[in-house]
């Protein structure tokens, strides 16, 4: 059964349709905790409809600058994870690197450069294309 939240504070809407909020809720077991209310989330632990109704119009809207900053952070985080999980194990391992042909080494070098250049794409941070990992 979903928990009904009756107390919240500091609600901030992150989209124009007001279906994505960051706020604090007074959880009956955990007390005051940060919470993301996403009306598209299929989780059933919190009664989202009741919480959204409780919030009503008592929230602030995030500025476009804040949205851009958050999205840029998400893209950079994704890029950094790709570098750490995919590129570093190849480029920093002398044995694995030496086993690659020159063509493969160049492909991995270019992949790393392309990942590092993601923030320079003209659509950054909302419209970016991540490069394809070499085979």
- Report the number of distinct structural domains present in the chain: 2
For the stretch 48-62, pLDDT in tens is 999 999 999 999 999
Q: Is residue 126 part of a domain?
A: no
On whether both 57 and 80 belong to a single domain, the answer is no
On whether both 30 and 77 belong to a single domain, the answer is no
Q: What are the strands of the beta sheet with 31-38, ordered from one edge?
A: 31-38, 20-27, 8-13, 60-61
Identify the domain containing residue 16 by its residue range.
8-61
Q: Which residues of the chain have pLDDT under 70?
A: none
On whether both 23 and 44 belong to a single domain, the answer is yes
- Helix pair angle (102-116, 64-82), 10° resolution: 160
On whether both 54 and 69 belong to a single domain, the answer is no
On whether both 83 and 35 belong to a single domain, the answer is no
For the stretch 97-113, pLDDT in tens is 999 999 999 999 999 99
């Amino acid at each position: 059964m979903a928990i009904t939240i009756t107390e919240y504070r500091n609600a901030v809407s992150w989209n124009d349709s007001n279906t994505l909020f960051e706020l604090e809720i007074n959880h009956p077991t955990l007390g005051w905790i940060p919470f993301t209310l996403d009306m598209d989330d299929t989780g059933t632990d919190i009664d989202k409809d009741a919480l959204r109704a409780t919030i009503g119009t008592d929230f602030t809207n995030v500025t476009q600058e804040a949205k851009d900053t958050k999205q840029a952070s998400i893209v950079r985080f994704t890029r950094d994870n790709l570098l750490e999980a995919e590129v570093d194990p190849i480029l920093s391992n002398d044995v694995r690197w030496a086993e690659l042909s020159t063509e493969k080494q160049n492909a991995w070098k270019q992949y790393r450069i392309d990942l590092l250049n993601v923030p320079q794409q003209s659509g950054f941070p909302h419209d970016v294309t991540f490069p394809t990992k070499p085979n």
